Amino acid sequence: MTAVLQKKICMLGGFSVGKTSLVQRYVHSVFSETYLTTVGVKIDKKTVTLPDRTVNLILWDLAGEDDINSLRMTNLRGAAGCVLVADGTRPSTLDVALSLRQRVEAEYGPLPFVLLLNKSDLKEQWAISDADVAGVRENGWWVQTSSARTGEGVEDAFMDLAVRTAG
């Protein structure tokens, strides 16, 4: 345990963007969903093996809030990186994700972020244009479409974060 590296990663996103179900299948989880509704945070672990070392990403899954002011900022204290999740079928959630990021950076300075545009399996309802995605990406963002159903993008996102935070 002492040989591995740990990093605190926060998962943020608007209400019902599927952030919890997104990671459910890919993380080590011991706490139930009720923590999210009671304590407002649920902690999971994702172990990423890099060529030279193993990184344990301690994932702080923060309760989905559309009202970014009610985000409990203490939970973000000491975070090494963030996973922002937006719902690809609801463009408003992208705005929420972007403003969440702004709020976090205002408080804790620049952090490695990855943005997951979730529910990529719902192609016909997809509402975020490629242009929007390109725009975000041009700002130096790591953007990835993802799907809780297919698992698309999830592992990549964590791998990216592991590399960026452990570097």
- The answer to whether 87 and 14 are in contact (CB under 8 A) is yes
- Identify the residue among 24, 26, 40, 156 touching other proteins (CB under 8 A): 40
5 in contact with other proteins (CB under 8 A): yes
Is the Cβ of residue 79 or residue 114 nearer to other proteins in the bound state?
79
Is the Cβ of residue 75 or residue 89 nearer to other proteins in the bound state?
75
**Close Cβ partners of 67 (under 8 Å, ≥ 6 residues apart):** none
Closest CA to 23 of 161, 160, 142, 157: 157
Q: Which stretch binds other proteins (CB under 8 A): 17-25, 72-80, 83-91, 130-138?
A: 72-80
Is the Cβ of residue 70 or residue 139 nearer to other proteins in the bound state?
70
**Close Cβ partners of 84 (under 8 Å, ≥ 6 residues apart):** 12, 13, 97, 98, 100, 101, 113, 114, 115, 116
28 in contact with other proteins (CB under 8 A): yes
Chain residues binding other proteins by CB under 8 A are 1-3, 5-8, 28, 30-31, 35, 39-41, 43-45, 56, 58, 60, 72, 74-75, 77-80, 166
